[in-house]
């Protein structure tokens, strides 16, 4: 009985020490077939690179023994990216995407996304949680971003309207993203920089900071706490 307990304890300790599947250090690219998609959902510590094109394409770049654990599939026009097993150390964990149109991203974990070239979209919806970093150049009709945690969003381009809902220590750098109307709903210690030319609606609480440019003709404020609102 004592031996069984010892073996069981060792098994539990061994299992607790498992950090995930280790990469073999040999990086390989794999291009995958994909149905058309205009949105992405990412769960995990991926580095995502998006470029515009007249087609949809997916390329995975990681240690060759990890390729089988990187899942990519399209459902309802949305590309889902995740790992089927916990991953340990790896050389790279990159996904390269080509998109005809970009209309949204649902991101969780510690992923990073950046675009190379101007993306276009209609009603863009962004939903981030965790330690997400996103850097996009995009032109669209409307943009709606919902951020929680220590997320950072950098935008260039333009839209008719934009809405940012930020909780926690989120940061929005959109001073080069021109909008006609912008709404900011912020709680916590976040910071936002925006470019708005007509109407700015602000609802903030906590130690949030908002900076704006564009000389909007109408500014509506609802402020509580030690918030800061200043022109850039």
Enumerate the domain spans of the chain: 21-100, 118-232
Residue-level pLDDT, tens digit, the chain, 232 residues = 334 333 333 343 344 345 799 999 999 999 999 999 999 999 999 999 999 999 999 999 999 999 999 999 999 999 999 999 999 999 999 999 999 999 999 999 899 999 999 999 999 999 999 999 999 999 999 999 999 999 999 999 999 999 999 998 999 999 999 999 999 999 989 999 999 999 999 999 988 999 999 999 999 999 988 889 999 9
Q: What is the pLDDT of residue 18?
A: 52
Q: What is the pLDDT of residue 16?
A: 39
SS (H, E, C) the chain: CHHHHHHHHHHHHHHHCCCCECCCCCEEEEEECCCCCCEEEEECCCEEEEEECCCCEEEEEEEHHHHHHEEEEEECCEEEEEECCCECCCCCEEEEEEECCCCEEEEEECCEEEECCCEECCEEEEEEEECCEEEEEEEEEEEEEEEEECCEEEEEEEEEEEEEEEEECCEEEEEEEEEEEEEEEEEECCEEEEEEEEEEEEEEECCCEEEEECCCCEEEEEEECCCEEEEC
**pTM score, whole prediction:** 0.90
**Architecture per CATH, 21-100:** 3 Solenoid (2.160)
Q: What is the pLDDT of residue 19?
A: 79
Q: What is the pLDDT of residue 12?
A: 38
Please tell me if the domain spanning 21-100 has the same topology as the one spanning 118-232. Answer: yes
Q: What is the pLDDT of residue 226?
A: 84
Give CATH for domain 118-232: 2.160.20.120
């Amino acid at each position: 009985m004592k031996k069984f307990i010892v073996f069981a304890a060792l098994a539990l300790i061994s299992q607790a020490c498992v950090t995930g599947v280790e990469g073999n250090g040999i990086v390989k690219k794999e291009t995958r077939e994909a149905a058309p998609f205009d949105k992405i959902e990412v769960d995990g510590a991926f580095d995502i690179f998006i470029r515009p094109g007249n087609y949809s394409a997916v390329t995975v770049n990681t240690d060759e023994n990890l390729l089988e654990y990187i899942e990519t599939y399209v459902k309802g026009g949305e590309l889902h990216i995740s790992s089927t097993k916990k991953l340990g150390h790896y050389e790279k964990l990159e996904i390269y995407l080509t998109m005809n149109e970009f209309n949204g991203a649902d991101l969780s974990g510690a992923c990073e996304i950046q675009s190379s070239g101007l993306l276009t979209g209609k009603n863009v919806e962004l939903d981030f949680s965790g330690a997400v970093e996103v850097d996009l150049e995009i032109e669209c009709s409307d943009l709606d971003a919902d951020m929680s945690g220590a997320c950072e969003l950098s935008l260039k381009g333009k839209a008719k309207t934009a809405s940012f809902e930020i909780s926690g220590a989120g940061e929005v750098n959109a001073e080069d993203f021109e909008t006609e109307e912008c709404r900011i709903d912020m709680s916590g210690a976040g910071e936002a920089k925006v470019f708005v030319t007509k109407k700015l609606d602000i609802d903030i609480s906590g130690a949030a900071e908002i900076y704006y440019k564009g000389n909007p003709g109408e500014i509506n404020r609802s402020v509580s706490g030690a918030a800061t609102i200043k022109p850039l």
